[in-house]
Amino acid sequence: MWRALLHRTISLVAALAVASVVIFVMLQAVPGDPAAFMLGLNAQPDTVAALRAELGLEGSLPARYLDWIGGMLTGDFGTSYTYRVPVAELVADRIGVSAPLALYALGLTLLVAIPAGLLAASRRGGVADWGVMGATQLGLAVPNFWFAMLLVLVFAVSLGWVSAGGFPGWSDPVAAIGALTLPAIALALPQASILARVLRSALLDTLDADYIRTARAKGLSRRATVLRHALRNAAIPVLTILGLQFSFLLAGAIIIENVFFLPGLGRLIFQGITQRDLVVVQSVTMLLVFAVIAVTFAVELAYTLADPRLRRR
Amino acid sequence: MTALLENEGPRPHGGGSELSDPATDRDALLAFDRLSLAIHGTTILHDVSLALFAGRVTGLVGESGSGKSMTALAAIGLLPDGAATSGAIRMDGRDLVALRERDWLGIRGNDVAMIFQEPMTALNPVHTIGAQVAETLRLRGASRAEAMRIARDRLDRVGLSRIPLDRYPHELSGGQRQRVCIALAIARRPRLLIADEPTTALDVTTQAEILALLRGLVDDEGMALLLITHDLGVVAGIADRVAVMNNGRIVEADTTEALFRHHRDPYTRDLLAASRVPARARRKVPPDPVLAARDVVRTYGAHRAVDGVSFTLHRGESLGLVGESGCGKSTLTRALLGLEPVQGGAIELMGRPGGTAMTRGERAKVSVVFQDPYGSFDPRWTVRRIVAEPFHLTGRPRDADARLAATLERVGLGAGDLDKYPHEFSGGQRQRIAIARALVTEPEVLVLDEAVSALDVRVRAQVLALLDDLQTRLGLAYLFIGHDLSVVRAIADRVIVMQAGRFVEEGPVADVFTAPESDYTRTLIAAAPAIPDAWVKETS
Amino acid sequence: MSWAFRIGALLAGLAVLAAGVGLVWLPYDTASVNIAERTLGPSMAHPLGTDHFGRDMVSMLMAGARTSIAVALLAVGIGAGAGVPLGLLAAARRGAWVDEVVMRGNDLIFAFPSLVIAILITAVFGPSAVNAILAIGIFNIPVFARVARGGALPLWTLDYVMAARVAGKGRGRISVEHILPNIANLLIVQATIQFSLGILAEAALSYVGLGAQPPTASWGRMLADAQTMIYTEPQLAILPGLAIVGTVLGLNLLGDGLRDLLDPRLRRMRM
A62-75 tens-digit pLDDT: 888 888 888 888 88
Residue A305 sits at the chain B interface (C-beta within 8 Å): no
Residue A136 sits at the chain C interface (C-beta within 8 Å): no
Residue B26 pLDDT = 57
b/e per residue B376-400 (b: at least 16 CB within 10 A): bbbeebbbbbbbbbbbbbbeeeeee
b/e per residue B41-53 (b: at least 16 CB within 10 A): eeebbbbbbbbbb
Every domain of chain C and the residues it spans: 71-243
CB half-sphere exposure, A2, CA atoms < 13 A: 0
Residue B7 sits at the chain A interface (C-beta within 8 Å): no
SS3 at position B292: strand
- Do C113 and A250 make contact, defined as CB atoms within 8 angstroms? yes
Higher pLDDT: A300 or B118? It is B118
The percentage of chain B sitting over the pLDDT mark of 70, rounded to a whole number, equals 94
Which chains have at least 3 CB atom pairs separated by less than 8 Å from chain B? A, C
Ramachandran quadrant class, A59 (left: phi over 0; alpha: psi -120 to 50; beta: rest): beta
Shortest alpha-carbon distance between residue A208 and chain B (Å):
11
Instruction: State the CB neighbour count (10 A cutoff) for residue A265.
Output: 27
Residue B537 pLDDT = 61
Dihedral, CA atoms, C197, C199, C200, C204, nearest 10 degrees? 130
Nearest to B246 by CA among B43, B31, B58, B61: B61
Residue B370 pLDDT = 92
Q: pTM for this structure?
A: 0.84
Nearest to C143 by CA among C181, C99, C86: C86
The order of strands in the sheet holding B112-115 is: B112-115, B192-196, B224-229, B57-62, B241-246, B249-255
Dump strand ranges (E) for B6-54.
Answer: 30-39, 42-52
Instruction: Calculate helix-pair angle for C3-24, C57-92, nearest 10 degrees.
Output: 110
Per the CB < 8 A criterion, the answer to whether B263 and B253 are in contact is no
What is the Cα–Cα distance from A29 to B129, expressed in whole angstroms? 58
| Helix (H) or strand (E) run with residue A270 in it | helix A265-274
Write down the ipTM of this complex. 0.86
Nearest CA in chain C to A142: C245
Burial of C69 (0-12, 13-18, 19+ CB in 10 A): buried
Alpha-carbon separation of residue B392 from A72, A173, A270 (angstroms): 59, 74, 58
Alpha-carbon separation of residue B71 from B50, B194, B225, B250 (angstroms): 10, 10, 14, 11
What is the Cα–Cα distance from C8 to C2, expressed in whole angstroms? 10
- Do A218 and B136 make contact, defined as CB atoms within 8 angstroms? yes
Q: Which residues pair with B51 in a beta bridge?
A: B31
The percentage of chain B sitting over the pLDDT mark of 90, rounded to a whole number, equals 75
Per the CB < 8 A criterion, the answer to whether B245 and B456 are in contact is no
Per the CB < 8 A criterion, the answer to whether C173 and C118 are in contact is no
- Residue A303: pLDDT band (50, 70, 90) is confident
- Do A214 and B139 make contact, defined as CB atoms within 8 angstroms? no
Question: For chains B and C, what is the number of CB pairs under 8 angstroms?
Answer: 50
Nearest to C205 by CA among C110, C89, C122, C140: C122
What is the Cα–Cα distance from B528 to C25, expressed in whole angstroms? 79
Backbone angles phi, psi at C225, to 5 degrees: -65, -40
Residue A295 sits at the chain C interface (C-beta within 8 Å): no
Residues of chain B whose pLDDT is less than 70? 1-26, 537-540
Per the CB < 8 A criterion, the answer to whether B168 and B188 are in contact is no
Choose the closest CB to A211 out of B123, B171, B187. Answer: B123
What is the Cα–Cα distance from A302 to B180, expressed in whole angstroms? 28
Residues from chain C that touch A250, judged by Cβ atoms under 8 A, are 113, 116
Question: Looking at domain C71-243, what is its CATH homologous superfamily?
Answer: MetI-like (1.10.3720.10)
Per the CB < 8 A criterion, the answer to whether B117 and B178 are in contact is no
Nearest to C259 by CA among C198, C192, C194: C192
Choose the closest CB to B122 out of A211, A224, A233. Answer: A211
Q: Which residues contact C230 (CB under 8 A, 6 or more apart)?
A: A149, A152, A153, A157, C237
Rounded (5°) CA angle C245-C250-C251: 105
Q: Which residues contact C71 (CB under 8 A, 6 or more apart)?
A: C129, C132, C133, C136, C198, C202, C211, C212
| Helix (H) or strand (E) run with residue A198 in it | helix A173-207
SS3 at position B6: helix
Per-residue confidence of chain C (271 residues) as pLDDT tens digits? 578 889 999 999 999 999 898 888 888 887 777 777 777 778 877 788 888 777 888 888 998 999 999 999 999 999 999 999 999 999 999 888 889 888 888 888 877 777 777 777 776 787 888 888 988 898 899 999 999 999 999 999 899 999 999 999 999 999 999 999 999 988 998 999 899 999 999 998 888 888 888 888 899 999 988 888 877 888 888 899 999 999 999 999 998 888 877 765 444 433 3
Identity of the amino acid at C245: V
Nearest to B381 by CA among B410, B430, B346, B419: B419
Nearest to C164 by CA among B424, B448, B413, B437: B437
Higher pLDDT: A255 or C11? It is C11
B313-365 tens-digit pLDDT: 999 999 999 999 889 999 999 999 999 999 999 999 999 999 999 999 999 99
What is the Cα–Cα distance from C172 to C61, expressed in whole angstroms? 45
Alpha-carbon separation of residue B354 from B287, B335, B358, B532, C167 (angstroms): 19, 9, 5, 43, 15
- Do B125 and A233 make contact, defined as CB atoms within 8 angstroms? yes
